[in-house]
C-alpha cells in the first residue's frame, strides 16, 4: 500500500470514529433539550395539543425558535404534529403520565445524575459521591410507583409466575429489606388487603418519600417504614416472607444482612431475591458497561447471577426452593429451614 493509500485509509477510519462521536453528540443534545423543556413545563403543557402560536406565547421564545424546537422533538419521536396542534407522542405521553411506573421526570433526573457520576468516575479515584438527594433520585428512577399499571403487571405477569409470594403474604407478615421508595411493597399492598409489612430503608430522604407514597395510597396502617441499617433490625421469627433489594447492598454488608433476614423469618419463611443486570446481547453491551462502571464506583456488586445469589444465601443458612424465570428476570427463592 502506498503512503497516499495509507493516508486515505486513516482518513476513512477517523471518519468512522467521527460518526460515532456525532451520534453521541446528537443523543446528548436531545437529552439536554428535553430536560430543559421539562424544567420549563413543556412536557406537561404538551399533554394537550398546542399550536405553535400557543407554544410561543407559553415559552416566550420567538416563533421560529419554537418551530425549530418542535421539529427537533418530532424528529426524535417526542412530539407529533396533528391537525389540532403539537402534542406528546403516545409513548411519551404514557411516560409523562401520573400512572407511569417510572415517569419521565424520574428518568431525566437519573440521566443528569449518571452523566455527572460518569465524569467523576473518569477523574476521581475514590468512591463515587452519593448524597441523600442523589439516593432519592436513584430510588425514584429504579423503584417505580404503585399505580393501576403496576398492579396489572404484577397481577397478570409476576404473581402467577411466583405464586409462593401471594400465598406467603396472605398468611404472614412481609418485610422489604432495602425498600427504596417501596414500589413493590406498595403495589402488593394494593393487591393484597391482607398484607402487613415492614419496609427498611437506610437513607432518611428516601424513607420520607416512601412514607409519603404509603400515606397517599392509604396503606399506612399496614406498612411500617423503619429508617435504619438493615443489619441492626432485631425482630426475630415473625415474618413469613421477605424481599431483599440486593443490588444496593455493598459487599461488606451482605452476609450480615442475609443473617438478619434469616433470623427475622419464621422457619419455612421465604426470601425472594431478584437477579439484576444479566449480561446482555451485543446490542445492549454498551449501556451495560456504563451501568457497571457506576455501580462498581458506588461499591456495590453488579450483575450477580441467580446462582451466585443462591450461594450467598445458602452460605448463611438458607436452603434453595427454586429459581423462577419471570417477566421481571430470574427470581431466587430460598427459605429458612423448618
pLDDT digits (tens, 9 = 90+) for 189-230: 999 999 999 999 999 999 999 999 999 999 999 999 999 999
Q: Give me the helix-helix angle, 132-143 and 204-217, nearest 10°.
A: 40
- Residue 191 in contact with residue 155, Cβ under 8 Å? yes
154 and 328 Cβ atoms separated by less than 8 Å: no
Burial 30-51 (b: 16+ CB within 10 A, else e): beebbbebbeeebbebbeeebe
DSSP state of 50: B
Sequence-distant (≥ 6) Cβ neighbours of residue 97 within 8 angstroms: 47, 103
* Grid coordinates of 301: 456488586
Q: Are 206 and 136 in contact (CB under 8 A)?
A: yes
- Strands 239-244, 265-274: pairing is parallel
Give the pTM: 0.91
Distance CA 168, CA 76 (A): 46
The cell for 3 is 503512503
Q: What is the pLDDT of residues 304-314, one digit of tens each?
A: 999 999 999 99
224: left (phi over 0), alpha (psi -120 to 50) or beta: beta
Contact, 49 vs 13, CB < 8 A?
Answer: no
**Residues 182, 217: Cα–Cα separation, whole Å:** 12
Q: pLDDT tens across 56-108, in order? A: 999 999 999 999 999 999 999 999 998 889 999 999 999 999 889 999 999 99
Rounded to whole angstroms, how far apart are CA atoms 88 and 76? 11
The answer to whether residue 149 scores a pLDDT higher than 90 is no
- Indicate whether 2 pLDDT > 80: no
C-alpha cell at 138: 436513584
pLDDT value of residue 5: 83
Q: Which CATH class is domain 3-96?
A: mainly alpha
> Which alpha helices (DSSP H) does 154-250 contain, by range?
159-161, 163-171, 183-191, 204-217
**Nearest-angstrom CA–CA distance, 264 and 95:** 38
What is the C-alpha to C-alpha distance for residues 16 and 11, in angstroms, rounded to an integer? 9
Q: What is the pLDDT of residues 15-30, one digit of tens each?
A: 999 999 999 999 999 9
DSSP output for 269-296 = EEEEEE-------GGGHHHHHHHHHHHH
- Tell me how far apart the alpha carbons of residues 203 and 164 are, in angstroms, rounded to a whole number: 30
Cα-only R_g, the chain: 24
Q: Would the pLDDT of 272 be above 70?
A: yes
Identify the pLDDT of residue 1: 59
Q: What is the C-alpha to C-alpha distance for residues 48 and 41, in angstroms, rounded to an integer?
A: 13
CATH number assigned to the domain covering 132-335: 3.40.50.150
* Residue 158 DSSP label: I
- Find the mean pLDDT for residues 261-273: 98
Longest Cα separation, the chain: 80
Residue by residue, DSSP assigns 68-128 as HHHHHHHHTTSEEEETTEEEE-HHHHHHHSTT-SS-HHHHHHHHHHHHHHHHHHHH--SPP
In the chain, domain spans: 3-96, 132-335
Q: Around Cβ 296, how many Cβ atoms within 10 Å?
A: 15
Amino acid at each position: 500500500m502506498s503512503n497516499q493509500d495509507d493516508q486515505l485509509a486513516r482518513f476513512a477510519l477517523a471518519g468512522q470514529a467521527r460518526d460515532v462521536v456525532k451520534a453521541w453528540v446528537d443523543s446528548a443534545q436531545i437529552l439536554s433539550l428535553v430536560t430543559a423543556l421539562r424544567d420549563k413545563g413543556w412536557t406537561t403543557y404538551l399533554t394537550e395539543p398546542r399550536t405553535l402560536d400557543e407554544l410561543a406565547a407559553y415559552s416566550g421564545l420567538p416563533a421560529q425558535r419554537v418551530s425549530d424546537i418542535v421539529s427537533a422533538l418530532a424528529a426524535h419521536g417526542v412530539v407529533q404534529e396533528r391537525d389540532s396542534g403539537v402534542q406528546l407522542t403516545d409513548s411519551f405521553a404514557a411516560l409523562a403520565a401520573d400512572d407511569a411506573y417510572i415517569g419521565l421526570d424520574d428518568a431525566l433526573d437519573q440521566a443528569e445524575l449518571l452523566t455527572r457520576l460518569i465524569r467523576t468516575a473518569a477523574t476521581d479515584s475514590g468512591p463515587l459521591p452519593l448524597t441523600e438527594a442523589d439516593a432519592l433520585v436513584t430510588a425514584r428512577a429504579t423503584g417505580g410507583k404503585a399505580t393501576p399499571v403496576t398492579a396489572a403487571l404484577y397481577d397478570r405477569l409476576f404473581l402467577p409466575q411466583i405464586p409462593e409470594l401471594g400465598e406467603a403474604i396472605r398468611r404472614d407478615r412481609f418485610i422489604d429489606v432495602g425498600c427504596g421508595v417501596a414500589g413493590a411493597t406498595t403495589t402488593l399492598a394494593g393487591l393484597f388487603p391482607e398484607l402487613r409489612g415492614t419496609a427498611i430503608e437506610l437513607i432518611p430522604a428516601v424513607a420520607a418519600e416512601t412514607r409519603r407514597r404509603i400515606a397517599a395510597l392509604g396503606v399506612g396502617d399496614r406498612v411500617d417504614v423503619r429508617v435504619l441499617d438493615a443489619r441492626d433490625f432485631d425482630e426475630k421469627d415473625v415474618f413469613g416472607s421477605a424481599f431483599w433489594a440486593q443490588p444496593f447492598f455493598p459487599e461488606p454488608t451482605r452476609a450480615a444482612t442475609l443473617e438478619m433476614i434469616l433470623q427475622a423469618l419464621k422457619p419455612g419463611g421465604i426470601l425472594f431475591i431478584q437477579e439484576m443486570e444479566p449480561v446482555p446481547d451485543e446490542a445492549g453491551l454498551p449501556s451495560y458497561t456504563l451501568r457497571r462502571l457506576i455501580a462498581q464506583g458506588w461499591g456495590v456488586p453488579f450483575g450477580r447471577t441467580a446462582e451466585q445469589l443462591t450461594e450467598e444465601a445458602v452460605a448463611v443458612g438458607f436452603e434453595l426452593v427454586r429459581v423462577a424465570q419471570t417477566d421481571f428476570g430470574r427470581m431466587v427463592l430460598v427459605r429458612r429451614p423448618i
